[in-house]
Amino acid sequence: MTAANNLLAAAIETRLFHEDSQSDEALFRRLFPEGSEFSPCMKRRLVKLGIDPSKKPSDLTSIERSAFARLDFDKESITWQRVLDVCDRHLRRVQVGLGCNEIIVDKSSQKVQHSRLTGFDITVASEVMAVLALAKDLKDLREKLGSMVVGYSKNGAPITADDLGCGKGLIVGI
């Protein structure tokens, strides 16, 4: 449970870092190297965005590529936290991203520390644990894990584990 939950937390931080430091086209190229195809969860994201899921990555317009590649997190809306198997009250609120490699160059060409406040919860109280308890079977578990909302975009759209491409990986973590 702990590993699955923290995998998703790491994916959020990584996505924030890359979205803050790369263009939409660069993000899209990272997701789709030459000749790659959409996975089933990516096709669900296309539908969510109102883009024809039968298209190939190379067929998307620049506007569709941008919409697909950039989740555009509202950092204040992120609800997902890391978890531990023990309750440690000193870790309920922490600042992450303070390392020397967590520096980006912002749009005004200034070097900026890429950090934010987050925290830790106890594993048994996590959403991953709740989903596991409520799932009827493996297929239902996969669907529920992928549908977990981890935050919202700047325009208020929910961002899920599947939007980050992590729904399938969460099952392996469990």
Residue 83 lies in a domain: yes
pLDDT, residue 94, reads 86
- What pTM does this model have? 0.88
- Pick from 80, 86, 108, 84: nearest CA to 9: 80
How far is residue 141's CA from residue 92's CA, in Å, rounded to a whole number?
A: 28
CATH code of the domain containing 161: 3.30.1510.10
User: What is the Cα–Cα distance from 113 to 105, expressed in whole angstroms?
Assistant: 9
**Quick one: pLDDT band at residue 97, thresholds 50, 70, 90?**
confident
% of the chain exceeding 90 in pLDDT: 71
Domain that holds residue 134: 2-168
Residue 173 lies in a domain: no
Distance CA 129, CA 131 (A): 5
Q: Residue 109 burial by CB count (10 A; 0-12/13-18/19+): exposed, middle or buried?
A: exposed
Range with the poorest average pLDDT among 44-48, 62-66, 103-107, 118-122: 103-107
Q: What is the pLDDT of residues 106-157, one digit of tens each?
A: 778 888 888 888 999 999 999 999 999 999 999 999 999 999 999 999 999 9
Q: How confident is the model at residue 174 (pLDDT cuts 50, 70, 90)?
A: confident
Please give the pLDDT value at position 139.
Answer: 94
Element (H, E) at 24: helix 24-31
* pLDDT computed for residue 83 by the predictor: 94
Per-residue buried b or exposed e for 61-99, using 16+ beta carbons within 10 Å of the residue's own CB: eeebbbbbbbbebeeeebebbbbeeeeeeeeeeeeebee
Given the structure tokens 């106890």, which residue do they identify? 122
Residue 70 falls within a domain, yes or no? yes
Report if residue 107 sits inside a domain: yes
Cβ atoms of residues 138 and 171 within 8 Å? yes
Residues written for the chain: 174
Q: Which DSSP symbol is given to 76?
A: G
pLDDT, residue 134, reads: 96
Query: What's the pLDDT at 111?
Result: 87
- Please report whether residue 133 resides in a domain: yes
Domain count, the chain: 1
Q: Where are the alpha helices (DSSP H) in 34-124?
A: 40-48, 62-69
**Tens-digit pLDDT profile for residues 7-24:** 999 999 999 999 998 999
Note whether residue 174 is domain-resident.
no
| Residue 95 forms part of a structural domain | yes
- Reported as a pLDDT band with limits 50, 70 and 90, residue 34 is confident
Q: Please list the residues that pair with 151 across neighbouring strands.
A: 159
Instruction: Give Rg (Cα) of the chain.
Output: 17
Among 6-15, 48-57, 106-115, 162-171, the least confident range = 106-115
